[in-house]
Amino acid sequence: MKRITAIIRPEMLEPMKDALIEAGVHGMSVSEIQGFGKQHGWKEYYRGTEVLLNMVPKVRVELVVADGEVEGLIDTICSVAKTGEVGDGKIFVDPVEEAVRIRTGERGEAAL
C-alpha cells in the first residue's frame, strides 16, 4: 500500500474529488494547509491575483491505495491539477505498512 499526498490549488478540490471518485478511490482525507515551494510563496497567483505573502493557501489530499493504483492516480491528479503556472502543487508517495478498518477488524488492502 502507498499513501499519495497531493498538494493542490484550493479551487481544484471539487474537480479533483469528482475525478478521484470516478477513478474508483475508496476514501480520501482533505485538509486546508499553507505552504510554499520553490518560489517561497512569491510570484504566485492565488485566485487570479498575485499574492504578496510567503505562505500560500493550498489543499492537501491524502489517499491510501494499492501499489498498482499509484501511477494511474498520479496521472489523474496531474490531469486535473495542472494549469502550467507556478504553484500547481506537488505529489508525494510514501509506503504504508498497515491499514485497519476499525468496524470489522479487516487489515491491509481489504481495509481500504
Q: At what angle do helices 70-81 and 13-22 cross, to 10 degrees?
A: 150
Piece in contact with Mg ion (CB under 5 A), picked from 5-13, 68-76, 86-94, 100-108: 86-94
Distance CA 1, CA 52 (A): 39
Q: Grid coordinates 509506503 are at which residue?
A: 95
Closest to ligand ATP by CB, 1 vs 58, is 58
Which residue is closest to ligand ATP by CB?
35
The residues of the shown chain that bind ligand ATP, judged by CB under 6 A, are 7, 33, 35-39, 56, 58, 86-90
